[in-house]
Amino acid sequence: MATLELYTKGAGVWIPDPDAVWVSAQLLQDYSPGENHLLLQLSNGKVRHLHYPLDSPSDLPPLGNPDILEGENDLTALSFLHEPAVLHNLRVRFLDYSSIYTYCGIVLVAINPYDQLPIYGEEVIDAYSGQDMADMEPHIFSVAEEAYRTMTRQEKNQSIIISGESGSGKTVSAKFTMRYFAVVGGAAQQTSVEERVLSSNPIMESIGNAKTIRNDNSSRFGKYIEIGFGRKGDIIGANMRTYLLEKSRVVFQASAERNYHIFYQLCASRELPEMRSLKLDAPENFRYTNQGGEMQIPGTDDLSDLERTRSAFTILGVQPDQQMELFRILSAILHLGNVNIQASGRSSERNDHSLAVFSKLLGVEGPQMAHWLCHRRLAVGGEMLAKPMSGRQAVEARDALAKHIYGQLFTWTVQRLNSALRAQRGHVKSFIGVLDIYGFETFDQNSFEQFCINYANEKLQQQFNRHVFHLEQEEYVREELAWSRIEFSDNQQCINLIEGQLGLFDLLDEECRMPKGSDESWVQKLYDQHLTSKPHPHFQKPRMSNSAFIVLHFADVVKYECDGFLDKNRDTVFEELVNILKASQLVAELFQQQENAPSLANGGVRPGKRATREHKLTVGFQFRQSLQMLMDTLNSTTPHYVRCIKPNDFKEPFVFDPKRTVQQLRACGVLETIRISAAGYPSRWTYEEFFSRYRILLRGLRSPEQVQSLCKQNLPQLIPDPDQYCFGKTKVFFRAGQVALLERLRAERLHVAALIIQSRVRGWLARIRYARILWAMVTIQRYCRGALARRLALTLRYTKAALVIQKTYRMVVVRQLFLVIRQATITIQAFTRGTLARQRHRLLVAERAAVLLQARVRGWLAREAYRRVRAAVVLMQCCVRRRAAKRELMKLKTEARSVERYRELNKGMEVKLMQLQLRADQQVESTALRETLHAEREAAIAEVEALKATIQKLESQKHEKHQQWPVISEKEVEERRRAEEKAKKNRKVDLLASYVLHYSVFFFCRFSSLYLTLLLLSSSSVCVFVHMCAEWQHQAVSEASAALRAELDEERRKYQGLLREFARLEQRYDNLRDMSLLTEVHNYNPSYRNSEIVPQKYSLAVNTILVVFFFSPNDNIRVDSAVSLPPGLPASVIFLCVRQADCSGDQTRARSLCSAAVTAMKAALKVTSGFEPARCTICLTYNAKGQFTSHQVGCCLQRTAPVVSRLSIPLYSVPALLEAETIPGLCGSAVKLGTSRKRAGSDPRTVGGDAPTMASVLRELGALHTALSHQALPPTLIEQAFHQLTYLISASALNSLLLRKDMCSWSRGMQIRYNVSILEEWLRSRSLQAGGAVATLEPLIQAVQLLQAGKKTEADARALVQTCTALSSQQIVKILTLYTPHSDLDERVTLNFIRSVQGLLKQRSDGHPPQILMDVRRVFPVTFPYLPPTVVHAEQLVIPDSLKISFLRKA
C-alpha cells in the first residue's frame, strides 16, 4: 500500500490507551515491511522510547492528520478518517476553541457545554439566515437554515433528527431549532404558534420528564413535532407525536431517581388554598414518590415549576377547572399507591384512608374499588365467579391501574396540545419535523424499556446508513465516476432478529397470549429458536444466567434481563377496574378516547376470561406500529441529523471525558458515517483547488486554462496506484490517506527547493561576512593607531597639568593659613569689645528702673486723693435734688384733685366729635358716588358681553365660510378699544370709592359710641376709661385693617383675572382680524387660487402619487422615468397635499395621511429584491421636505429612519468585501487543505452569474449617491443615509468573518483590508466622512489588522489589545481561535498566546456588550435639519401628462 510509505521518522500515529482511549505518538525511525515493532515516543513526554508490537502490517497504528487539518469544521474532510482522528478533532474544537458544534458529513455533532454561551441571539440568527452550510461555522442554526431553504426551494418536507443520551442537550437543540424557524419564517418576535409550541415544553417536561442517575431532567418518552409552513414560508401550525412513555416509573423508581416531576410539584403546592382539597402530603409519605430517596433536585423549585406549568396550560387554552381535574387525577394516583394490600390476598379494611381519598377524588364507589382490587372475575361453565387474588397479584393490579390511568392522562394531554397547536389559518403546504428521541442505552440492568429504545435506534441507524450511502452514490453519479458499490454494515439481520417472523417481539407476543405464560418460558423459547434450531449471529446466551439474553446491536453488546418483560408488554388492567373508572365523570373521557382509538392506546384491558381483538394490542406491537409510522414519515422527507454528545457525567462545564465520548460516538452512528466516507473517496478537490495547492508537483505548461488536463497528466506519476484516485467532471477524488501522501511529496519538493535556496543564500551571506570582516580589521587598526597617539598626547597634557596643580595647591595652602590666623584675631577682638559694652549697658538699665518706679508711686497717690473729693461732692448734690423733687410732687397732687382739670380734658373730646360729624357728611356724598359707579360698571359689563357675542359670531362665520372673512373698519376697531379702556378706568374708580366708604363708616361708628360713653361716665372714672378706650381703639383699627387687606387682595385677584380674560379676547380678536386680512390678500391674488389643491381630493391625490412614484410590478411606469423627473417633484407634490390637509385644521386626517404616505414608501421598497436608488431617493427627499409642514408631519416622517437598512446593498457587499480578490494572486496560492470541500449531503448550489466585486458595489453606491443628489436632498441627510448603510455593511461583513474559518488568515486579511480601503477612499471622495460613514468601518478594519498582526510574543499581545479598541473581548478571542494558516510560512496561534490576550483583555474596561456578533438591526436616529421653506406653488411644477394627476389643480 502507498500509505506504508507514510510511516517514516517524525510521522504522528495514534496508539490505544486505557485512560485516554487514544494517545498521540511520534515515530523515532522509519518503518520497513517485516518489522515486528515500532519505536515510538509519546507526545505527553511520559515515555521517551516505546516499542509498539506488530504482528502484521494491518496492526500498524492509525496515522495522524497534518497539523493544518487540526480543528477542522467537517470531520469527513480529514485526510485520515478513523476513530482517534475524530476524537482528537472534537477535543481540540471543544476545549481549545470552545466550539461545541462540528460537522461529520450530513451529521451535526453537538457537545453539551453545560454552560450558557452567547451564540443563540437574534444577531446570530440573522448571520446564518440565507447562508450556505459550507461557508459558515457549524451551528444548529445552520442545519435549520439548510432544512428551511430546501423546503422552500424544493417544496419538499424536511426532518431534523435529534438524538443522544439523556442529558446531552436534545431538548435545548430542538428548542433553538423551533426558535430559528419562527424568526426566519416571517416573525420578528415569537409568533403565537411558536409561543404555544414553547409553552408545551413545561407541560411535557412536568408529565414526561424525571430525574435519573445521569440527568436531572431526563425525557422518558420520544417526541416528534411537525411544524407546518404556509405558502409564504411562515409557521401556521404544529403537531406532536410521542413514543414509548416509561409508565413503569409511575410505580417504581431506582435508587437516587425520582418519579415524574408533576407529582413533586403537586406535593410542593399542597398548602395552596385550591390544592387543600387534594389531601396531599410531603412526597416522603407517598409510596410512588419515596422509593428513590431523592425528594428534591438541587437548583430547582417545584412550586415555581408548577406555576409555569399552570401558565402554560392557560396559554394552550386549558381552563383552570380542567387543570384542577387533571391535578385531582394525579393526586388520586399518589393516594392509590398508599392503599395497603394484606398478605393474605384480601384488601385492607373498607375504611382505608388512602382508598377513601382515591375514591372521593375520582368520584368512584370505594367498596367496589376495594373489592375488585383484590378479586378477579372468571367464567366457569357459563357462570361468572369472583376469585380472590394473592397479595402480590393485588399489588400488581393496583400498580397496573395506576400506570394505566397515568398513560391515558398523558395521551389525553398530548391530544389537547395538538388541538391547541393545530393550524388556524391557511393550508399547510409543507412541514419540517423535529424528532427529539432517546439515544442508544445500556445499563447494568436492562429491561423492556431499553429493549424498545435500542430497537428504535436500530431502525433509525438503518435509515441513517442508507441515507448516507445514497448521498455518497449521488455524488459519484453527478461526477460520472466509474465506481463500484460501497459496502456498509447493514444491521438488517439484527432488525430481523427483533421484529422478523419468530423474532423476539413475535415470541414475546405469543407468550403474552398464553394463559400461563412467564418470562422464563419466553427466554427458553428464545434459546431454542435462535441458538439451537437456527443460530442467529446477533443473539447470544449469557454463560452464568438462564434468565437473560444478549443482543449484538450495531452500537454495543447489550445484556437484557427477562424479568418483567411480559408484564410490561401486556400492560393490562382488569376490565372491572376500568368499568368502575368509566362510571366516573372525571376520568370517563380518558377511557372513551381509548375505545375510539384502540391502536394508539398505551395498553390493553384484560377481562375476566377473554377480550375482544382490539384489547389484545401489546405495548411491543403498538410501539412497532408507531415506529413504522415514524420511519415512513422520515423516509418521505429529507432528513437532517443532529447527534448530541454528553462530554462527562458530572455536568462540569467544558470537561471532556474521552471514554464517554467514544462510547456515544459509536452508539449514535458518527463513526459509521466516517467509515462509509472512508470506504469511498472521502477527499474531494476541484481541479482549480488541486492545481493551486500542488502546482509545484506538476510538470509541463502551468496554464490556468489547462488545469484539468494538467492534473490528469501528472497525477498518475505522483500516485502509481490508479485505484487510489478518480477523475470526475469538476473534481478529483482520493482515497483515505492519499492527500497526506501528496502533502508529504509536496513537503519533500519544498524541502529540496529550500536546500538549494539555503546553499545559495549561505554562500552569499559568507561573502558578505568576509567583506565585513576585512573592513572591520582595517577599521580596528586605524582606531588602534589613533588611540596610541591620543594616549601620548594625553600623557604630555597630564605632566603639564601636574605642575600647574602643584603650584596652585601650594598657594592655596599658604593662603588658607593666613586666613585662619586673621579670622582668629578678629574673633578675639569682637568678644572683648562685646564684654565691655554689655557691662556699660547693665549700669544704665539699673539707673533707669529706679527713676521709673518713683514716678509710678507718686501718680497713684495723687489719683486716690482726687477720687475721695469727687465722691463727697456728688453725695451732697443728690440730697439737695431729692428735697426739691418731693416739694414738686406735693404740688402736683394738689392740682390733680381740682375740677378744672377735667373740664380741660372734655374740651379736647368735643373737638374730636366735631371732626367725626364732618366725616359723616362726607360719607353721604360717597354713597351717591358709589351709585354712579355701579351704573357705569353695569354698562361696561353689557358692552363686554356684546363684544363676546360679536367674537363668537365672527368665529362661526370663519368655520362656515373659510375664504370670505368680514372686513372690519378701523373706526369700529377704535371704538372697541375706547370702550375697553373706559371700562378699565371705571373699575379702578369703583374700587377706590368702596375703600373710602368702608373707612368712613368704621370711624364714625367707633367715635360716636366713644362720645356717648364719656358723657355717661362719672368724673371719678373718666381717666381709667379713657385709657381703656385707647386700647380698644387700637385693637379695632388693627382688625379692620386686616379685613380690608383681605378684601383688597380678593379684589386684586378678580381684577387680574378680568385683565387676563380681556387680553385673551383681545389676542383672539387680533388673530381673527389678521386672518380676515390674509383672506383678503389671497382673494386679491388671482394666481394663488390656481395653486390650491382641491380639499376633497387630497387623499385620492396622495394615493395616486404613491401609486405613480412607488409602482407595483404590474404597472407600466418604470423607475428610470421616476428618476428622470425634475428634482424634488414627488416630494413637492406630496408636500402640497399634506400642507393642504394641515391647513384644513383636521389634525387627525393630516396625521393619518402622513402615516399612509410613510407606509406606502416602506411597502414600495419591498416590491422587488433588487436595489433601486429611485425608491430610497423619493422617500428621503419626501422626509426632508415634509418636515417643514407641521410638527405632526415631521413626527410621522421620522418613522422612515430604518428605510436604508432594508436596501439590498449590504447583501452583496459582504461577499465583495470578503471574497473579491482585488489584489490578483494574493489568496490564490493559499488554499487551505480540505477547506473548500463541500459538505457531503449539502445541497449543491448552482453557479449562476458572476461573483460580486468591489467595482459593482461602488457602482451601486455611486448610483444611490447620484440619485440622492439629483433629488436635491440636504447633504446632512445624505451623510446620515450612508452612515446607516456603511454600518450595515461593516456589521454584516464582520459577523460573516467571525463565523467563517476560511476567512481568518493573513492573506485573506490583507485582501479584505485593501477592499475596505477602496470603500473608505470612495466615501472620502464623496465627502461623506463627516456624517460618520468612515468611522463605522473601524471594527472591520481592526479585525483585519488583527489577522495581519504578529501573534507570538507578549509584546504582540499587548499591541493587539491596545489596537483593537473597537472590538469586544469575545470578538478578539474568536478571531484568534479561528485563525488558520493558509500557507506553510504561517503558523497557528498558540493557546498560550490566546490565554495571555484574555488576561490582558480582563484588565481592559472597554464597555462593549458581552456578545460575539454585532447587532445588524441597530438603527441610528435620523436628524432632519431645519432649512428655510421655499414657496411651492402648483403652477410652478412641471408635471408630465403621463402621470395623470392633473385633477390636483382647481379648475
Phi, psi of 558 (to 5 degrees): -120, 135
Which residue in 1217, 1444, 1407 sits closest to 1320, CA to CA?
1217
The candidate with the shortest Cα–Cα distance to 1418, out of 1286, 1330, 1268, is: 1286
Residue of 79, 159, 218, 1079 marked catalytic: 218
* Inter-residue contact 954 to 1010 (CB < 8 Å): no
User: Which CA distances in Å does 1049 have to 1052, 1055, 1063?
Assistant: 5, 10, 21
The answer to whether residue 521 is catalytic is: no
Residue 1219 CA to residue 1214 CA, distance in Å, equals: 8
Q: Does the annotation place 168 within a ligand binding site?
A: yes
Q: Three-state DSSP class for 53?
A: strand
Of 647, 589, 772, the C-alpha closest to 169 is 647
Q: Which residue among the candidates 99, 219, 446, 1369 is catalytic per the annotation?
A: 219
Active site residue 484: no
Q: Is 166 annotated as a binding residue?
A: yes
Annotation says 1407 is catalytic? no
Q: HEC string of 772-795?
A: HHHHHHHHHHHHHHHHHHHHHHHH
User: What is d(CA 1203, CA 892) in angstroms, rounded to the nearest whole number?
Assistant: 109
Per DSSP (E only), the strands in 1129-1263 are none
Rg (CA), the chain: 53
Give the active site residue among 215, 521, 633, 1253. 215
Backbone torsion region of residue 1407, taken as left when φ is above 0, otherwise alpha when ψ lies between -120 and 50, otherwise beta? left
1407 is in an annotated binding site: no
Residue 219 designated active-site: yes
Taking CA atoms, 630 is separated from 162, 228, 433, 607, 1180, in Å, by 14, 17, 10, 31, 55
Is residue 725 a contact partner of residue 6, using CB atoms and an 8 Å limit?
Answer: no
Contact present, 728 and 479 (Cβ < 8 Å): yes
Residue pair 80/740 in contact (Cβ under 8 Å)? The answer is yes
Q: CA nearest 249: which of 296, 292, 204?
A: 292
Verify whether residue 1144 is a known catalytic residue.
Answer: no
Q: From 566, 580, 572, 576, select the one nearest 605 (Cα to Cα).
A: 572
Spatial contact of 1088 and 980, defined as CB atoms under 8 Å apart = no
366 belongs to the catalytic site: no
Bridge partners of 226, per DSSP, are 239, 433
What is the rounded end-to-end Cα distance, in angstroms, of the chain?
97
CA dihedral 922→927→930→931, nearest 10 degrees, is -140
**Is 1112 a known ligand-binding residue?**
no
Dist. CA 984–CA 1058, nearest whole Å:
10
Q: How many angstroms separate the CA atoms of 172 and 201, rounded?
A: 10
407 in a known ligand binding site: no
CB atoms within 10 A of CB 1411: 15
Pairing between β-strand 12-17 and β-strand 21-27 as defined by DSSP bridges:
antiparallel
171 counts as catalytic: yes
| Catalytic residue chosen out of the listed positions 439, 669, 1234, 1241 | 439
Tell me: is residue 626 an annotated ligand-binding position: no
Let me know the angle formed at the C-alpha of 465 by 461 and 471, rounded to the nearest 5 degrees.
Answer: 145
Q: CA 71, 77, 83, 84 torsion: positive or negative?
A: negative
The answer to whether the beta carbons of residues 111 and 164 sit under 8 Å apart is no
CA distances from 141 to 122, 126, 148, 155 (A): 11, 10, 10, 20
Cβ neighbours, 10 Å, residue 278: 22
Q: Which of 167, 337, 503, 604 is catalytic?
A: 167
| Cβ neighbours of residue 334 closer than 8 Å, sequence gap 6 or more | 263, 266, 267, 280, 286, 288, 289
> Where do we find the cell 415506529?
627
1423 a catalytic residue: no
DSSP character for 547? S
Point out the residues that are catalytic: 166-167, 171, 215, 218-219, 439, 441
The binding site for ATP consists of 164-171
The binding site consists of 164-171
